[in-house]
Structure formats: structure tokens, C-alpha cells
Structure 1
Amino acid sequence: MSAFMEETKCLLPRIAFIACGCFSPPTPMHLRLFEIARDHFEMQGTHKVVGGIISPTHDSYGKKGLVSSLDRCAMVKLAVQSSNWIRLSDWEVHQSQWMRTQSVLQYHQNFMNNYINSPSGAGDAEPNGALPGWLPTTLRERSDPVQLKLLCGADLLESFAVPGLWEDADIEDIVANHGLVVITRCGSNPDKFIFNSDILTKYQRNITLITNWVANEVSSTLVRRLLSRGQSVKYLIDDLVLEYIKRQRLFNVKSQDAPAPPGGDS
């Protein structure tokens, strides 16, 4: 039976997830979204999940509380150290300006499928000839394409309705050509939001709604607030991320155990 199940799994269409955002700082809930989504598709037996990608936004996005992309990428790298399938992509932060989410999805989608179809397996390698670290390692085990889906919380889904925040053409392209995987909270009503949107209703077959039954309200905003007040965030974020924040004195951190700045009183 197990051999049959493995063979069946090999025939399933392949997908990968990408999460876009600030990650200032990354929290365990950011990573939990990936785990919840993968569990859903594996339990449904409809797709094979081959990878997860975290793509921090460009510095020019300018959101309040946004530290430099160098620091945000460093924190994401630390946060995903214990994962064997979620990886950082720093492509977005290295562009000359802020990139629309649709463009970020399209780049990563094209890169993966070009890599799969490249005879040498190099695809569009980086200038130094190396493959990007975010690339899932098992892509060339099969020759079929991988569909990249945008992974997000219900708040991003609801942001589609904010006037001027999203281009209708971008929303349609994301949902029609990639798909959304939305992790919602118990008691929320994303179905109604989809019903109220003509674009989302048109492509609702490409929207996967997954309820997170284990409530976790820890957000980057909350972590920044506690840090600026000198309150503990231990167990709310990864220890390695917390150590990095203290070492770099990010988010106006106030802590008695934070390292003293260079040149302090002797």
C-alpha cells in the first residue's frame, strides 16, 4: 500500500508557496503558514508541495517599522535554519526599486520552470554561475512544471479591497495564473469577502482557504512594540532572531541584557 501511495504522490501536480511581505521581524507564525498549507495539500492528496519561499519586500516600500533589507534577510535566514524546505529569496530586495507582488511571483515562477526545462540544469543561473539559494532542490526529479502559489493570511486577501492599493490587473493575474493559498482564523469569513469581489469570484477555484485552528496572534507589529518598551519577546520569536535584534539594536530595542554599544562609558 505504501508503495502505491508513493507512486500516486509522484503523479500529483507540483506546487510551491511564496510569501511576500516585510518580515520586520519574521515571526514563527510566518513560518507556520507554510506548514499549515503543506499539511492541507498533503492531507487532501491533490498536490505535491516541493518548496516554500520567503521574499522580503524592497527597502523603498517604506512601511513604518521597516528595517533594512540586509537585516530582514539576515533574520529570515536565521528563522528558517531549522526548516528543510522553506528558504529565503533576496531577489526582490536587490532590485532597483520596489516590485509589485505579481512581478515577484512571475520572476520566481519563470525561473523554476526555466530551470526544469534547461538541458544543463542551470536555467537562468546568477551572474556568478551559482543557483539561487531559494530554489527547491527536487525540481529536476520530474520534468513537469511547478505552479507557484501566493501564500498569505486573510488580511492580505482583504487588502485587495483597499482603494488604490492593488491594480485590478495584478489581482486577476495572481489569482488566475498562480493562485492564492489563504490561511484564515477561526471565526473569520473569507468566503463572504470573495463573494463580494467580482475578480475573486471569477477565479475562486484557484483560491484555497485553510482554517488555522491553533490561534496565534503574534505579529511583527506586536514584537516591535514590546521590544521598544523593553519588554520580553522570548518565545514569541526565534531565539536566533532575538539575539540578532539585540546585537544590531533593531526596533529601538531596550533591554538590560542587550550588548553595550561601542565606545560606551568604561
Structure 2
Amino acid sequence: MVSTPYLTDAFTHPPNYSFPHNRLSRVLRDPQKTPVVLVACGSFSPVTYLHLRMFEMAKDYVRHNTDFEIVGGYLSPVSDMYKKPGLLSARHRVNMCTLASEDSTTFLMVDPWEAFQSYQRTAIVLDHFDHEINTVLGGVHTEDGEHRNVRVMLLAGSDLISTMSEPGVWSYSDLEHILGRYGTFIVERAGSAIDQATDSLARWRSNIYLISQLIQNDVSSTKVRLFLRRGLSVRYLLPNSVVDYIEQNGLYLDDVTSSPINSNLEKGKDRDVAGGSQKKDVQQIC
């Protein structure tokens, strides 16, 4: 495993930022387990039940198939500087994620670090979580007081693993950092050729955990925005608190970029360039 993070000095922080850890379990229940924090990076514009459901599927998978113990989960909304078409302001997206997390599982939190500053690559975002949890907070401990470092892992939809297997989309150094140092849980989504994608990433196969979606759910933020633009109900696709927030603030009513004529957006193919490496839109998939 790669052991050196990209940034060894202090991270830059948005104004008045403090790392949320109110729901982070600081005591490991089973000393034989490895403590893990799940991080989902995405646009969350808006956050849907599928985003939340991913954490529950990962929790079930971890409990039945691994020697991990989940001590926390985070939604990390992307910065406005990502400049994705149809991207709502970070303030609204963070507010909606916060409302959703408060109504959901007891281990889920929202970290605004990524949202309120310049665009940060996924590898750097994971370094940030590793730094805050293991360096600043000092990790976790067992009931007997033994210190343990927490393993940070990316949680995403299977679309992500497909983009990682395509030449020129992700830099090799980022893949080595994300998959080699941290690892990822990938939730199956319809239309993604997972087996073929993982074959191309065989070097990191031991750090890639594939989670089957036993009840198919293809709700996406793109479809929700299209419904809202057409004046259709989105209740029971999103948490009620998020639906109320959207209605109260009149959001997405003029979101013309959600139109199906934008085939790239509908297929999750829009790209951006960061740090000299090209990466497909992971916001569509997590």
C-alpha cells in the first residue's frame, strides 16, 4: 500500500471551517476489526435516497463479508468550481445534504470542506479525511484504550469504476493513491460492466469491494432535476426535508441543463480538467 499522502503539510480550509465528527464513533466495538470511514464524493444536486441507501448497503456488506467496522460515513459535496452544468450552489447542496443526513443513519455526516473552496481532486479529499480523523482527532481506540488508525475508503456507484478503467480519464498517480492507499466500495448500478472494469484495475483488485444492489434503484439527481423542471412530484425519491427545502427555495425550476437533449449529461459523460488530468463526472454516480 502507498503510505505517503499527497499533502504532508497543513490543508487549506474554507473560512470558519471545523471538521464534523459528532457522529464519528471513537470507540471500536470489536478489537479484531479494522475501523473504517466511508466517504462519498459527489454533486448531490440534489441528494437522493439512493445516495443514502448506498451507505446502508455498504454497512450490510461490511458486516457480512469483511473484517471492517464502520465508525462513520460522510457526504462530501463538490466545490462550485467543479463547474458542472446544472450544478446548484454549494450552500444549497450542503444544506440539503445536512437535512438528509439528520434524518438518516446515526453514523452519517456532511463535511463542507470540499464544497466551499477551490476544486479538489478525489485523492486530495481522501487525504483530508485521513488527516482530520487520524492526525487531528487521533483515530479511535478500543474499549481497553488501544489506539487504532481509521481506514478511509471511497464509496461510489459502479459508474465510477468504469471511468477509472478508461485510459486518459484518471491519472495513474491518482488511481494508485485512491485504490492503492485507501480502497473503495463500489455499489452496482444498472448498465455498468463491473467485471470488465475491474479486470482493467487488477493491480488494485484487493482494495476494490463490489456491492450488489439487491433491490434495483436507478434514481439519479439528473432525473430528479428533470422532474422538478417539468413540475412533477419528487416525493419519496428524496427525503421529505429535502423536498420541502427545494420547494421553499424554488430550486431547479429553471434548470435547463437537465433537459434530455443534453445527452452527455444524461449519460454522465461530462468531464472536467483538474491538475492536468482529465476525470469523468463522478458526481453522477455517487
For Structure 1 versus Structure 2, the TM-score category normalised by the shorter chain is: 0.7 to 0.9
Report the AA paired with residue 159 of structure 1: T
Secondary structure, counterpart of 1:9 in structure 2? coil
Give the equivalent residue in structure 2 for 1:89.
111
User: How well do the aligned residues superpose, as a CA RMSD in angstroms?
Assistant: 2.0
Aligned pairs for 1:7-26 (under 5 A) are: 9-26=30-47
Identity of matched residues, %: 35
Shift of residue 109, structure 1, vs aligned partner: 0.8
2: CA distance between counterparts of 1:164 and 1:223?
A: 30
TM-fit CA distance, 1:189: 3.7
Structure with the largest fraction of helix: 1
Separation in structure 1 between the aligned mates of residue 67 and residue 87 of structure 2, nearest angstrom: 37
TM-score normalised by structure 1 residue count: 0.79
Gaps of 5+ in 2: 1-27, 256-286
Work out whether 1:61 is the aligned partner of 2:62.
no
- The aligned residue for residue 228 of structure 1 is 229
Matching residue within 184, 187, 193 for 2:188: 184
The alpha carbon displacement at 1:166 in A equals 1.8
CA spacing shift, 1:81–1:201, aligned 2, 3 Å: same
| Structure 1 stretches lacking a partner, 5+ long | 1-6, 119-138, 255-266
Give the equivalent residue in structure 1 for 2:25: none
Question: Residue 133 of structure 2: which of 105, 112, 119 is its match?
Answer: 112
Q: Which stretches of structure 1, 4 residues or longer, exceed 4 Å deviation after superposition?
A: none
Give, in angstroms, the shift of residue 93 of structure 1: 1.4
Q: For CA contacts below 8 A with separation 6 or more, give which structure has more relative contact order.
A: 2
- Displacement of 1:162 in angstroms is 4.5
Using the TM superposition, give the Cα deviation of residue 9 of structure 1 relative to its aligned residue in structure 2, in angstroms: 2.5
SS at match of 1:15: strand
The question of whether the paired residues in 1 share the 8 Å contact of 2:49 and 2:238 is answered with yes
Note if 1:52 corresponds to 2:73: yes
The higher radius of gyration belongs to: 1
Do the aligned residues in 2 keep the contact of 1:154 with 1:183 (CA within 8 Å)?
yes
Map Cα deviations across residues 243-264 of structure 1 (whole Å, 9 max, x no partner): 111111111169xxxxxxxxxx
- For 1:209, the equivalent position in structure 2 comes to 210
C-alpha distance in 2, partners of 1:253/1:60?
A: 20
Q: How does 1:1-266 map to 2 (within 5 A)?
A: 9-82=30-103, 83-95=105-117, 97-117=118-138, 139-141=140-142, 142-162=146-166, 164-185=168-189, 188-195=192-199, 197=200, 200-252=201-253
2:70 is paired with a residue whose SS is strand
Query: For 1:186-209, what per-residue CA distance to the aligned partner results, in whole angstroms no more than 9, with x for missing partners?
Result: 7854122111x2xx2111001001
TM-score by length of 2: 0.74
